[in-house]
Structure 1
Amino acid sequence: MTVLIQRFLLLGFAVWINFPALSQAKKPNILFIAVDDLRAELGHLGDTQILTPNLDELAKEAVSFSNHFVAVPTCGASRAAFLTGRRPSRRVELNNNIMQDEFPKKEESSIPETFIHHLRRNGYHTVGIGKISHSADGYVYGYEEEVSDQRELPYSWDELLFDAGKWKTGWNAFFAYSDGENRQSMNKQVKPYEAGDVDDLGYPDGLTTQLAISKLKDLKNQNEPFFLGIGLFKPHLPFTAPKKYWDLYQEDQIEIAKNPNKPLHVSDQSLLPSGEFNQYALGEEHPNLSTVASKAYAQKIKHAYYAAASYSDAQIGLILDALKALDLEKNTIVIIWGDHGWHLGEQQIWGKHTLFENALNSALILKIPGKTEQGRTENSIVESVDIYPTIMELTGIDAPGELDGESLVSLILQNQNRQKKVAYGYFNNGITVRNDRYRLTRFYRNGGLIYELYDHQIDPLESVNIAKENPDIVLEMIPLLEKGNTGLFEK
């Protein structure tokens, strides 16, 4: 009997998991797909017009987490927390460039730089394609510089691959338009969207998908288990996708945000002026904290985001089809992860970089091979830092050092013995905690403390800050908030 099966029996799981390759002492493979800016708005989660048929099909055999929250609502810092299993404990860890600035300078030590590094140390062949850390292709260089040979994660990868196509570099591809130009080459004199008259290979994510499928064919013939990380760019700005994905939607029928105005009793400092969105200079409107987007423009931008998300969904479908065709799905864990959410006009915001639900809540789907139960939506509060210990438990590898997350395996298998039922977020000189009913946020400003409280039972859109009227609830939740204050702020 293998160690992994013994672990399952000892934990008394209600559902039997049969990894076919375990009899040969082979650990499960891991297919991980990071989707940039993919909020927790997917077809199977309901109350949406978005079309994500491939993710919906995957969810029929997986667990989809509707209340998954990232630690930081910006790409680099969110990914750093996810990859290390640690919440930020220094202000610099809220920075988008935390990995490129610090990780390559560290000597390899007993504590692995990421969970991928730890898998590699324990017999996994690790392959990265696209944006897994913050860099678009895994190498450290500026948006308008030539590609360097310095890896952002120097110890995590056996192979680091990318096909930049006609865009030539990863960062050019990240901000790509279908004619081979990009945001940088056009000096931002571009629209924040594009419906390209091209097929799937006319944008970088199509190239990434074909490269991933080719690599899966190679990995099938290897003896060691693999971790294949794939980073898809869309629906990150600019919202670009082949026209056929735009044609899935009727723009004038798209519903705009139900809460398009700023929340009541909230300072503009808690909000976002939508600067990243508005730097696309040729956008027809430039909504901000003083100007609400017109209904027509809100529909257009939401249409663009939906089309870009549907494009990524199609690429994921191709990858999952290849996994099945190669007879790899029976022994492969599949994880789909959005690195944070995105405001689509909610609270008068177009972007991320807030401590509201829309910025912190992102997609997470996890499929365990051999699990016989039908897929389901799990509404428990979970965090990105929970994924590291989950992978370690599923692979039978001891987690190194102390991690802030808690394994989701018992939750996935409905053996409800998890202790943690909250999620923490950090940004904009503030910290937030979310439990089953409330979100409490504390900002550290001008030498004082500012609280915001939202009741998700009666106000799931976070449209009214009720902290002033409910000091008892604030006081009750402050100790919970303090548990997540991991050294970032003075208490």
Structure 2
Amino acid sequence: MIRSILVLSSLLCCLTLTAQQNKKAPNILIIFSDDHAYQAISAYGSKLMQTPNIDRIAREGAIFQNACVTNSLCAPSRATLLTGKYSHINGLKVNNISNPFDIRQEVFSRLLKQKNYQTSWIGKWHLQTLPGDAFDYWQVPPDQGQYYNPDFIGPKNDTVRLKGYITDVITQLSFDWLDHRDTSKPFCMVIGEKATHRSWLPDIQDLGAFDDKQFPLPANFYDDYKGRLAAKNQDMTVDKTMLLDYDLKVHANYSERGMYGRMTPEQRNAFKAYYDKVSKDFDERQYKGKALVEWKYQHYMRDYLSTARSLDRNIGKILDYLDKNGLTQNTVVIYASDQGFYLGEHGWFDKRFMYEESMKTPLVMRYPGVIKPGTSVNDMIVNIDFAPTILNIAGVTAPASIQGNSFLPLLQTGNSKDWRKAAYYHYYEYPEPHRVSPHFGIRTLQYKLIRFYGPADAWELYDLKKDPAEMKNLYTEKKNSRLVASLKQQLKDLINQYHDDEAMKIFEQEVKD
């Protein structure tokens, strides 16, 4: 009898402890990469490479098919992640050393700290300022950071050089913080990855990982840009803009003080041995014309995907850490890139344009017990939604000043009746470095209307269902006049909603003219 009572008592204690654990505020882990194209992720149907660890997050949680950014540029996207606000509101419109992000403004991490969360940002920051008191702990590389033996700055403003490949280094720094955090508090950690930013220096172990693969050219690789003035006048083609020495390492200068000068002799020798073979192949074949540009494309893809390989491998290490330390069930994991990227579509690399490969960003999310495994979300998510969603998960009410909305209810109920039906975009940076005309516009699930201004003064309209590659500008076709009028009214409404005065002046000036 006594033994039965003891067993029952023990069982009740276990159930009580489990209930208490389930009531704990969830940990939040955000892995935020750089320039990682959804076309390079197998969960999105990519045939270019396998990404088993990103795929695992999608398989065990949700994949978002229409996640978009508001301004396809590295620093502005990070500012939007932090604030939940458009570039013209948070003050960071362009990548510019003379235009640092104002970290004193309201960011989600400070609101989490008030809710007893322990917060950290480890890895690429790229906001031309330091995190300061916005996070409890941080370790960030200066500016873009270096792939090999990167420098990192900590809370004491002390700069140290850490040996190794940056993706591995960031993972280890993340583990060090997790090992020593205050376990009585929930945590929110942002892991900022440098990969897959230009100039795509793979880890030594990934050199040549795709040498036996011939990548098919995108169908619009030789785009003639007919009817698209801004697309025609950019400077971001694999053909003319991509550099043989800097980007593709053909006869690279290994004595320079920059990205090669910081390598150890062992790293440099391995790197040089591989790219000497690439240079020899280039010299012997003497490529010209289309043969040259297609050779460049193949080696661009090999370097880009080899760099992405380390990214996915390290995401696997992070997921394994959560498993081994009993953190998986109570930790929300979000993986996203700061924007999309061109992998030869339209003949391009880089981002910036409002076209799909740039505007759409990968987004997968795992939340055990809340998100049903294998969920696919087709509703439009915008990166202004990241901050309010993070706050919602933590039980914090988002301030009225935040322009995005939490998409957590979409995942909990699946009811998207009152969710947005269109996304607003505004890009500013001109002329450097890629001569992409500034523009703003609206994207619905079927249509996209873009207003280019500055050097390219034009409208563009696309039917994304019939023309997903955005090759045929429908704007001037008379049969689309009602559609154009409707989209312009929706665009004007969004401009008003998000208080974009600059766009409104351009929009209204056209009406006057």
Distance in 2 (alpha carbons) for counterparts of 1:422 and 1:407:
16
SS in 1 for 2:56: helix
* 2:463 is the counterpart of 1:459: no
1:488 alignment counterpart: 502
Aligned pair in 2 of structure 1 residues 296, 103: CA closer, same or farther (>3 Å)? same
* 2:449 is the counterpart of 1:440: yes
- The aligned runs of 1:67-466 (5 Å cut-off) are 67-89=66-88, 93-97=92-96, 101-104=100-103, 106=104, 113-131=106-124, 133-135=125-127, 140=129, 151=130, 153-162=131-140, 170-171=142-143, 174-176=145-147, 178=148, 202-219=164-181, 222-260=183-221, 261-268=223-230, 272-274=234-236, 278=242, 281-283=245-247, 294-371=293-370, 373-413=372-412, 414-427=414-427, 428-445=437-454, 450-466=458-474
Distance in 2 (alpha carbons) for counterparts of 1:281 and 1:461:
30
Deviations, residues 272-314 of structure 1 (Å, cap 9, x unaligned) = 312896467445699xxxx876222212111211111121011
Residues 92 and 99 in structure 2, CA contact (< 8 A), matched pair in contact too: no
Residues 103 and 113 in structure 1, CA contact (< 8 A), matched pair in contact too: no
Aligned pair in 2 of structure 1 residues 311, 454: CA closer, same or farther (>3 Å)? same
Residues 65 and 365 in structure 1, CA contact (< 8 A), matched pair in contact too: yes
**Per-residue deviation at 1:268?**
3.6
SS in 2 for 1:371: coil
Count of aligned pairs between the two proteins: 420
Residues 449 and 461 in structure 2, CA contact (< 8 A), matched pair in contact too: yes
Distance in 2 (alpha carbons) for counterparts of 1:212 and 1:63:
24
Distance in 2 (alpha carbons) for counterparts of 1:405 and 1:325:
35
Deviates more, 1:389-398 or 1:430-439: 389-398
1:30 alignment counterpart: 28
Aligned pair in 2 of structure 1 residues 300, 278: CA closer, same or farther (>3 Å)? closer
Residues 61 and 371 in structure 2, CA contact (< 8 A), matched pair in contact too: no
**Per-residue deviation at 1:464?**
1.6
Deviations, residues 225-251 of structure 1 (Å, cap 9, x unaligned) = 111111111111111112443544345
- The aligned runs of 1:34-73 (5 Å cut-off) are 34-41=32-39, 42-73=41-72
Matched letter for residue 158 of structure 1: D
SS in 2 for 1:401: coil
Residues 333 and 368 in structure 1, CA contact (< 8 A), matched pair in contact too: yes
**Per-residue deviation at 1:256?**
2.3
Distance in 2 (alpha carbons) for counterparts of 1:100 and 1:275:
27
Aligned pair in 2 of structure 1 residues 324, 91: CA closer, same or farther (>3 Å)? closer
Residues 248 and 299 in structure 2, CA contact (< 8 A), matched pair in contact too: no
Residues 256 and 302 in structure 1, CA contact (< 8 A), matched pair in contact too: no
Residues 62 and 372 in structure 2, CA contact (< 8 A), matched pair in contact too: no
Structure with the largest fraction of helix: 2
With the length of structure 1 as denominator, give the TM-score of the two structures: 0.78
2:482 to 463, 472, 482: 472
**Per-residue deviation at 1:270?**
6.8
**Runs of 4+ off more than 6 Å:** none
SS in 2 for 1:155: helix
Distance in 2 (alpha carbons) for counterparts of 1:408 and 1:331:
19
**Per-residue deviation at 1:170?**
3.5
SS in 2 for 1:362: coil
Distance in 2 (alpha carbons) for counterparts of 1:445 and 1:60:
44
**Per-residue deviation at 1:115?**
0.9
SS in 2 for 1:241: coil
Unaligned residue ranges in structure 1 (runs of 5+)? 1-18, 107-111, 141-150, 163-168, 183-200
SS in 2 for 1:350: coil
SS in 2 for 1:300: helix
1:15 alignment counterpart: none
SS in 1 for 2:453: strand
1:145 alignment counterpart: none
**Per-residue deviation at 1:128?**
1.1
**Per-residue deviation at 1:117?**
1.6
Aligned pair in 2 of structure 1 residues 347, 25: CA closer, same or farther (>3 Å)? same
SS in 2 for 1:312: helix
Deviations, residues 192-231 of structure 1 (Å, cap 9, x unaligned) = xxxxxxxxx7411111111112222223x52111111111
Aligned pair in 2 of structure 1 residues 452, 354: CA closer, same or farther (>3 Å)? same
Alpha-carbon RMSD across the aligned residues, in angstroms, is 3.0
Matched letter for residue 487 of structure 2: M
Matched letter for residue 460 of structure 2: E
**Per-residue deviation at 1:349?**
1.7
Deviations, residues 400-453 of structure 1 (Å, cap 9, x unaligned) = 12322122112223233442022222114210211110111012237x952101
Name which one, 1 or 2, has greater alpha-carbon Rg: 2
1:11 alignment counterpart: none
Aligned pair in 2 of structure 1 residues 458, 317: CA closer, same or farther (>3 Å)? same
